[in-house]
Every structure is written in structure tokens, then in C-alpha cells.
Amino acid sequence: MKPRITVVGSVNMDLVFRTPRMPAVGETLLGHEFRQIPGGKGANQAVAAARQGADVSFIGAVGDDGFGDFSQQCLAKEGINIHHLARVAGVATGVAGILVEDNGSNSIVLAAGANATLNVNQIEAATSAIAAAQLLLCQLETPVDTVTRAIAIAHAQGVKVVLNPAPAQQLDPALLKQVDYLIVNETEASQLSGISVTSQSSAQQASERLLDLGVGTVLLTMGGDGALITQAGGSEFIPAIKVDVVDTTAAGDTFVGAFAVGIANGLSVSDASREAQYTAALTVTKLGAQTSIPHRHEVLDFMQARKVA
């Protein structure tokens, strides 16, 4: 049987500009390329989970515009259950403006649009979709009270919770106590723990602080360096997979979605993280968000080529 994952999260249309570098204030810079690509942290993670073989249900909101139509079609094409994806009249679908430099790094500006309308009533209406899952996956591009309620329902139903608290913001310790797997980058770990993460040593300190706040397991992703796993029994650092970087957009989301599938499939945290690293590594070799997320057979071929499968 396929692992069952329910995602509460955002849907955006990504407006992607390729540029030789980031423009200075007041500067007009000639770019290389422009593309419209479906994105949003929630949708990206849902697509990543679906392409790794999960049965995915999605809870979110889009506007009643062309971007909303296209986003719905893209999610449905992946086999994702969008019964709980609301269409909000008179509101625009979320949009992300993304500048991608030639070296693959990016800067992103978000306009939440319909994502900001996702409310607790919609979460309550989707209780059955949360309760039926093996794992609930959330981020913070939708209102925190909505995410809080979804996590509370999952926790009460015995459904494991993966939280990717991005964009970074302060969270109630009571919420963190209900999180089984917290996946953070250096910025998010710094804000949640109060410890500035600038090295593997400080990453360890921040992760231990998050455990003290009640989180079950902390995965601190450190970009091209790798990921630090911290649990009650100790820590493990997993180096990143080295590839030629085209665009880092959605690499983190792909890691999260793939990790969730690994856990739902019964893998250990270490093994799920390793597979997620390979999946994310493939993502950065292509341009865009959902256009770059690999399918399961591509990941297995990649791992076999690297002699790990």
C-alpha cells in the first residue's frame, strides 16, 4: 500500500527570472529568461511526496483566477487529492517573484493571496483527511492558527506530524510539543531556538534547545553542507550530495516531502534523511520548483549511479 500523507499548505505561482546577479537598489538589470512555474511550499512538498510514491491529500486555497485554475490542474495531474483545496472568489492565487542567479542561488518575494484565507473551519472540515493519514505535513505560508489546529487534530488522532516552519517566525512551545519531526534551516533554527546558527557546533546547540522545547526529532538542513539530525539518543550529520547546481528553488521542499515519505514507509530517520538528500540533490540540477522535483525512479537510478542502492 502507498503511504498516506496529508499536506496543509500554500499554493503559489512562481514568476522566475534568471539573472546574472541580484540587481542593486534602483538598478534595472537585463535577465536571461522568464518562466511561470507552479510552486508554493505546501504544493511543492505535496508534489515531492506524490512523486516519491505517496497517496497525498492536500488542504489549501487558491484564487478564482487563471493561476488558480492552472495550479489545481497541476496538483490533480500528480494524482493528489484536491477535494479540500478551496477556490476563493475575488482573491488572487498566491504569487512568488523569484530571482535566480547564474550560480543557482535565489531570492524570493511572496504575495500570499488566497493562502492567507485558509482558516480553521476549513481544517475542521478536513478532519477525516488528517485522521486517515499516517503523517501530516505543514509549513508556515498559511496562517499559524490554521496550522496549529491541523497539528492538534493530527496529534489527537495519533498521526505523526512533520513541521517545516518556513517562513521563520516564533511559535508557541505548546505547538512544538506536538511536532514529531521539525525540519528547519539555519535561519529558522536560530529564530526558534534563540541560538545563532553559524557552524555545525552552534547547529548542534540550537537543535538540542529545540528538543528541550518538546520537539521529537530535529533535522537542521545546512544547504550544500548537509543535514544534522538530533534526537534524544544523539546526533548524526549527513553530508550533502555534490552536484552541479542550476537552481536551488524547491530543494528544501523536496527534502521535506521525500523525508516524509521515507518515514511513512517505515524507514529510520537516518535512512529517510539520506534518501531525501539524494532527492533534493537532483532538484537543484534543474530550473524551477515543481518542474525540478524528481520522480522515484529517477532517484533510484541516481542512487544506483552513486553506488548507494
Name, in order, each residue with C-beta under 8 angstroms of 169's C-beta and a sequence gap of 6 or more. 140, 144, 191
Q: Give the per-residue pLDDT at 309.
A: 56
288 confidence band (pLDDT: 50, 70, 90): confident
User: Residue 233: inside a domain, yes or no?
Assistant: yes
Average pLDDT, integer, range 207-217? 96
Would 117 be classed as within a structural domain? yes
- 234 a known binding residue? no
253 is catalytic: yes
Is 55 assigned to a binding site? no
Domain annotation covers residue 217: yes
pLDDT at residue 207 above 80? yes
| Domain assignment of residue 27, yes or no | no
Q: Does 71 reside within a domain?
A: yes
What's 36's domain CATH number? Answer: 3.40.1190.20
Answer whether 114's CB lies under 8 Å from 62's CB: yes
Provide the pLDDT for residue 1. Answer: 85
Structural domains in the chain (count): 1
Is position 53 annotated in a ligand binding site?
no
Q: Give me the mean pLDDT over the 174-199 stretch.
A: 96
Per cent of the chain over pLDDT 70 is 99
- 223-250 pLDDT per residue, tens: 888 999 999 989 999 998 999 888 777 8
- Work out the average pLDDT over 127-135: 98
Region 86-99: mean pLDDT is 95
> Half-sphere exposure of residue 160, counting CA atoms within 13 Å on the CB side?
19
Which of these, 41, 55, 35, lies nearest to 11 by C-alpha position?
A: 41
Average pLDDT score over the chain: 94
Q: Which residues contact 110 (CB under 8 A, 6 or more apart)?
A: 12, 94, 95, 96, 141, 167
Beta-carbon contacts of 77 under 8 Å, excluding residues fewer than 6 positions away, are none
Residue 211 has pLDDT above 60, yes or no: yes
Q: What residues have CB less than 8 Å from 84, skipping those under 6 apart? A: 57, 58, 59, 60, 122, 125, 126, 129
**pTM given for the model:** 0.92
285: annotated binding-site residue? no
Q: Is 226 annotated as a binding residue?
A: yes
Residue 78, domain extent: 4-22+32-305
Residue 162 has a pLDDT of 98
Decide which of 30 and 8 is more confident. 8
Catalytic residue among 55, 65, 180, 253: 253
- Average pLDDT of 147-160? 98
Residue 122, in any domain of the structure: yes
The answer to whether 119 is annotated as binding is: no
pLDDT at residue 21 above 80? Answer: yes
Position 301 pLDDT exceeds 90: yes
Q: How far is CA 259 from CA 24, 46, 63, 65, 71, in A?
A: 37, 12, 30, 33, 24
Handedness of CA 97, 273, 229, 45 (dihedral sign): positive
Residue 121 labeled ligand binder: no
Q: Say if CB 162 and CB 260 are below 8 A apart.
A: yes
Is residue 175, in this structure, part of any structural domain at all? yes
pLDDT of residue 250: 80
Tell me, yes or no, whether 215 lies in a domain.
Answer: yes
Percent of the chain at pLDDT above 90? 80
